[in-house]
C-alpha cells in the first residue's frame, strides 16, 4: 500500500473527526440554563421547584423559651443543626458559612427579632442561604422560642 493511498484514506477521516468536535451556533443555543439542571435526586429542575412564600412572624407577646433546650436543639445535627453553618460556644465541628453566634446575645437584638430571623430570615435578607426553619416546619414555635432564648443568653 502506497503512502498516497494511506493519506487519501486517513485525510477525510481526520477532517471529519476535527469538524465533529466543533460546536455549531445551533448547539450553542441549546446550552442548558443552570435553573434547568436537575435537582432533588434528579426529579425536577431546580428552577421549577416550588418555594414556600416568605413569612415575617414576629410575635408581640414573646415569652422566651428555655435556653438549655435551645442549646440542645441548636447543637442537634438532625434538628436545628445551627453548627453546620455557625460557630457557637460549646459546639464542635462548627461551620463558618454564617456569622459567629458565640456572643449573639450582645448584638442588641430583641427576642422577637431573633425569633423572626430563625422563623424565616428571607423577609430581611431575600438571598439568604439560611433555611426558613419555621416556614418549612423544621422547628416548632416552642423550639424556635427555645433557640431564641439560647441565642439571647449567649454572651
pLDDT for residue 155: 87
Residue tagged 416548632 (cell numbers) = 140
Q: What is the pLDDT of residue 1?
A: 62
pLDDT of residue 54: 87
User: Which residues of the chain are under the pLDDT cut of 70?
Assistant: 1, 4-50, 60-62
Q: What is the pLDDT of residue 73?
A: 95
| Ranges of H-type helices in 1-155 | 3-20, 25-29, 67-75, 111-120, 141-153
Q: Dump pLDDT digits (tens) for 45-86.
A: 555 556 788 888 877 666 778 999 999 999 998 888 898 899
82 φ, ψ (degrees, to nearest 5): -60, -30
**What's residue 93's pLDDT?**
81
pLDDT score, position 34: 57
Going by DSSP bridges, is the β-strand pair 44-45/38-39 parallel, antiparallel, or unpaired? antiparallel
Q: Which long-range contacts (C-beta less than 8 Å, at least 24 apart) are formed by 35-38? A: none
User: How far apart, in whole angstroms, are the C-alpha atoms of residue 62 and residue 53?
Assistant: 23
What is the structure's pLDDT at 15? 59
Q: What was the pLDDT predicted at 142? A: 93
CA distance 155 to 16: 70
Q: Could you give all domains of the chain from N- to C-terminal order, each with its CATH number?
A: 3-48 (no CATH), 67-153 (1.10.760.10)
Amino acid at each position: 500500500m502506497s503512502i498516497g493511498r494511506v493519506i487519501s484514506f486517513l485525510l477525510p477521516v481526520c477532517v471529519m473527526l476535527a469538524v465533529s468536535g466543533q460546536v455549531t451556533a445551533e448547539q450553542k443555543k441549546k446550552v442548558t440554563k443552570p435553573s434547568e439542571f436537575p435537582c432533588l435526586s434528579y426529579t425536577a429542575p431546580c428552577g421549577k421547584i416550588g418555594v414556600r412564600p416568605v413569612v415575617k412572624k414576629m410575635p408581640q407577646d414573646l415569652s422566651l423559651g428555655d435556653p438549655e433546650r435551645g442549646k440542645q436543639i441548636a447543637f442537634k445535627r438532625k434538628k436545628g443543626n445551627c453548627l453546620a453553618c455557625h460557630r457557637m460556644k460549646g459546639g464542635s465541628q462548627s461551620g463558618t458559612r454564617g456569622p459567629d453566634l458565640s456572643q449573639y446575645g450582645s448584638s442588641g437584638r430583641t427576642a422577637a427579632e431573633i425569633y423572626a430571623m430563625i422563623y424565616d430570615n428571607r423577609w430581611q435578607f431575600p438571598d439568604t442561604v439560611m433555611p426558613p426553619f419555621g416556614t418549612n416546619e423544621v422547628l416548632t414555635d416552642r423550639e424556635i422560642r427555645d433557640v431564641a432564648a439560647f441565642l439571647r443568653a449567649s454572651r
